[in-house]
Structure 1
Amino acid sequence: MPTSSRRPRAAAASSTGPSRGSVRATLALVLFLALVAGGVATWRYDLLDGRLDALIGTGPDAPATGDPAAVAPPPGLDLPPVVAPGPVADASSTGGSLDAAAVRSALAPYLRDPDLGRHVRVAVAPLGDAPVVFASGSRPAIPASTTKLVTTVAARLALGPDHVFSTSVRLGPTEGAKGTRAALTLVGGGDPFLERAPTTPDGDAWPYPARADVATLAEATAAVLGEQGVRRVRLSYDDSLFTGPAINPTWEDDYIPGVVTPTSALWVDVGRTLSRSSRVDDPSGEAAGAFAASLRGAGIKVSGSPTPGSAASRSRVVAQVDSAPLSQIVQRVVDVSDNEASEALLRHIGIAEYDDGSTDSGRRGVRALLRSAGVRLAGSTFYDGSGLSRANRAEPGVLLDVLRLAADPTRPDLRAAVEGLPVAGFTGSLRLRMDEGPPAGLGRVRAKTGTLRAVSSLAGLGTDLDGTVFAFVLMADAIALEDTLDARQALDSAAAALGACRCSG
């Protein structure tokens, strides 16, 4: 739940440095001008989250930390030493009740903001199975990246918290003089965070969670081959674990390759180039090429370029690397809103439920798993795992049910989905947000963000000033383009107001 210490606000900076708010406003203005310069057609808020993350250091490669004092301030600030204040909140209670009138009063000033547009959905409820105390709006709304809460909880239901994804190398029959050449196959296991090396290009450790990598896999493979006298191999790669289209047909045409990588059971660096500055069209081939380069570096000659294929029936596993447990992967996905990893998890749900790694089977699996767990899905439809699809529709009650299910103390197997929720003002995609609403809301709200063109959403947990824990969903999907940032701020402030409210009954 909320953090126990609080990072100094920018207002505490010396008078010689810009305030946090001014730095943030300048960054938003620079980003706006840059995008406008590139043409109005490129002004897509489904691109904004990832690009802003890259600018401020909160993206998929940013370190995850639960310590507010460890979060670096924006450049240009001269901050005094951190002095830990008292607790942000009193001890929380999951069994408290909420007063509907108090919740309505806390939200009202922000929900009246015209920047939110003509379609706003809101729902607030205590944890457990207590009734919803406040609901507003009609018709399902576009959930954007809050969809990841649905996907990650379903993945935990399907696979369990300790499940790992294995990338292996299989060796076929040897040939040539004294068996010096062999058929080698790199087999993708759908590891969302498989990397090309054990460290980042700068030589740093990968951020949480720990990552498997193809360089380590190549070294282990070379050691086994050396023991068997194999010095040369023909290399193929097998990415057949995932089936069906690699690109979701409901995505916008220009999502590939700028926004998301085609989904593959075999990729490195989530389908990015060596510099990680752009995505590749053939992530499986890129991964195989990286593995081949590492094999050569380990003393094994690789004939030609890797080719698509499948492991021979008589082949055997000679080396394998495993991902971090699913619980840790889920935490990371929710914290930094990783689109590629979410899509990989959706395919794994299909495999677990129907032995088919397609998006369609994953979607069917999500509905079946959530229904069995008591989540009411009427009126909600999810076409992907990440929330990039504008065809997705969600009732706030679905997200409330998913949050309350994951927070249920009797379901520790699902808890990673809420443990990974960013903390307002401190971590992940909320690191630089919620600093303009009621200040008592900072540190009291954890939420999954969602941003698409004309869409903004938040879904998460909070603790009011009386210590009662609640779940909330805020969604707006008819926002005027020019009002997007202001609308997002209005929702942020509404969530902060709940944390700053004495709403307990």
Structure 2
Amino acid sequence: MTQSDRRHSRRSRDERGWVGRALASLLVLALVSAGVAAWRLDLVEPWYDHFFADSPTAPTSPADVAPPPGLELAPVAAPPAVDTAVTPPGALDPALVQQALAPLLADESLGRHVVAAVSDLTAAADARPLVSVGDGAAVPASTTKLLTTTAALAALGPETRFTTRVVSTGPGRIVLVGGGDPYLASAPASRSTYPERADVVTLAEQTAAALQQQGRTKVRLGYDDSMFSEPAFNPAWPAHYLPEDVVSSITALWVDEGRAEQGSPVRSEDPALAAAQTYADALVAQGIRVVGTPTRGVASGGTDLASVQSAPLREIVQHVLEVSDNEAAEVLSHQVGFAVSGTASFEAGAAAVLSTLQGLGVPLEGVQLFDGSGLSRQNRITPAALVGVLRAAVDPSRPQLDAVAQGLPVAGWSGSLTNRFDLAYPQARGLVRAKTGTLSNVSSLAGIAVDQQGHLMLFALMADRIADIDETKAQHALDAAAGALAACSCGAVAATPNSTG
């Protein structure tokens, strides 16, 4: 396995008015989202709640709390309005956009195949791009996840949750049924974990309570992972990915994304069996004797005993994009396949993602898809397709897709862009949101940038023939290119009428 592929693997674990809405999303959403997440996680629980929880005259805000004796405070005054409503800043000048990008995309470190597109976010979907560089498609790496997550939200809906069930199928037998929850956990997560995780310990507690109500304290355990079809390992991936723990086998039933234990890079040889055994151990801890070892089979009929549900899809999508989660992206692709065709496989998932995006009006000429994560080097995606997906995702008539823009990492601040944009154009930090894509000899970046005049641009920058020694330089070059868009004052200058004296 090459050094860059290892780097990608690590990153993937660590990795609507019209203009007004999009601009607010870009500039403010990062902070707002962080604040909302913090409130949801009780990280910034109002301190005064603890002191006045039982008081009938509890204050309604910190400003209502009297200061300690002897401390004089200035009266609280309403702050002035921050700004007026955002208005469109005018047209973009393609020549200025080209001027900003051209020298950076000509960087020799990017290699012999560079393709790119930049479009005005406010323009019609069929409008000519502001800039188009190169021809054809390129290996997209993890920018593939933009296609997968957008299709998942469109096909399934943002509030969809994935359910893991336990059913009683006969005297003395229960079956653990996988529902394709990408983040099912082996144990309850800490309060700081986001998105929330369902877990098999909680499921075992519910199961034990139901069994004990029936007077049952001994069971045989089966497990059903049949929702997803074989193969569990994508034939379009390099064979060494599995033994070298680059990616887990993809199954409808696992815990901790198929890892041997929480936080471990080591993948289970049989994630479904490992999940069943973890669940069995949790049952035993609840006083239920499990006879024998868990056996694989399809649960037909039976009575539900217990169930747990994942976080809503919109939260899963945000996390997948922020950290570039390969395994979860593959599960989402399978879920799209199941929703569209009734078959959850790599092939069905890829086909369903493309058909769903076609229905959204995304231009797909030249696009070939073999997985949902971008690990396959057989994938080919055009800059026009990536820009088309982004345009669909921020379309105010499609609020169900909002999580895509919300999940994009912020340059120099979050997710897979936390440690990037630290060289050229530092003013781009916070003004670019983008999905990264990295494999050995491949680098891509696709997202949204706002220039110094408030123009919003969709962009896709791709290079897939990078020399080994130039990989880091190439990444910096793409960062600089996206940064140049944010640093640019790319608005067209209004013509001044000639003076007639």
Structure-1-length-normalised TM-score: 0.81
- Residues 1:433 and 2:420 are matched in the alignment: yes
Q: 1:349 — aligned with what?
A: 336
Q: Aligned pair count? A: 428
Query: How far did residue 108 of structure 1 move?
Result: 2.3
User: Are residues 378 and 113 of structure 1, via their aligned partners in 2, closer, same or farther at CA, if it must alter by over 3 Å?
Assistant: same
- Residues 1:191 and 2:178 are matched in the alignment: no
Query: How far did residue 95 of structure 1 move?
Result: 7.6
Contact 1:456/1:476 (CA < 8 Å) preserved in 2? yes
SS in 2 for 1:241: coil
SS in 2 for 1:302: strand
For residue 106 of structure 1, the aligned residue among 85, 89, 100 is 100
Instruction: Report matched runs for 1:41-440 at 5 Å.
Output: 42-52=1-11, 58-59=14-15, 66=31, 96-128=90-122, 129=124, 130-174=127-171, 182-199=172-189, 204-205=190-191, 207-257=193-243, 258-277=245-264, 278-313=266-301, 315-440=302-427
Separation in structure 1 between the aligned mates of residue 11 and residue 384 of structure 2, nearest angstrom: 30
Identity of aligned residues (%): 48
What is the identity, as a one-letter code, of the residue corresponding to 2:187?
A
Separation in structure 1 between the aligned mates of residue 459 and residue 34 of structure 2, nearest angstrom: 27
SS in 1 for 2:470: helix
User: Are residues 171 and 497 of structure 1, via their aligned partners in 2, closer, same or farther at CA, if it must alter by over 3 Å?
Assistant: same
What is the identity, as a one-letter code, of the residue corresponding to 1:283?
P
Query: How far did residue 91 of structure 1 move?
Result: 7.6
Q: Deviations over 1:188-247 (max 9, x none)?
A: 000011101112xxxx33521111011100000000001000100100100000012111
User: Are residues 452 and 113 of structure 1, via their aligned partners in 2, closer, same or farther at CA, if it must alter by over 3 Å?
Assistant: same
SS in 2 for 1:324: coil
Q: Deviations over 1:267-316 (max 9, x none)?
A: 10000112532111111011111101111111100012111112243x11
Separation in structure 2 between the aligned mates of residue 94 and residue 191 of structure 1, nearest angstrom: 42
Q: Deviations over 1:397-450 (max 9, x none)?
A: 000000010011111101101110000000000001011011111100000000
Structure 2: stretches of 5+ with no match in the other structure: 16-28, 36-82, 493-501
What is the identity, as a one-letter code, of the residue corresponding to 1:195?
A
Contact 2:11/2:416 (CA < 8 Å) preserved in 1? no
Query: How far did residue 157 of structure 1 move?
Result: 1.2
Separation in structure 1 between the aligned mates of residue 435 and residue 476 of structure 2, nearest angstrom: 15
Between stretches 360-369 and 317-326, larger displacement belongs to 360-369
SS in 2 for 1:242: coil
Separation in structure 1 between the aligned mates of residue 357 and residue 12 of structure 2, nearest angstrom: 31
Structure 1: stretches of 5+ with no match in the other structure: 1-41, 71-88, 175-181
What is the identity, as a one-letter code, of the residue corresponding to 1:184?
I
Instruction: Report matched runs for 1:486-505 at 5 Å.
Output: 486-505=473-492
Separation in structure 2 between the aligned mates of residue 52 and residue 213 of structure 1, nearest angstrom: 25
Q: Deviations over 1:431-489 (max 9, x none)?
A: 01011011111100000000011000000011111111110000000000111011001
Contact 1:68/1:426 (CA < 8 Å) preserved in 2? no
Between stretches 487-496 and 107-116, larger displacement belongs to 107-116
Query: How far did residue 44 of structure 1 move?
Result: 3.6
Instruction: Report matched runs for 1:447-462 at 5 Å.
Output: 447-462=434-449
Q: 1:444 — aligned with what?
A: 431
RMSD over aligned Cα atoms: 2.1
Question: Between Structure 1 and Structure 2, whose CA radius of gyration is higher?
Answer: 2
Contact 1:221/1:319 (CA < 8 Å) preserved in 2? yes
SS in 2 for 1:98: coil
Between stretches 244-253 and 234-243, larger displacement belongs to 244-253
Q: 2:62 — aligned with what?
A: none
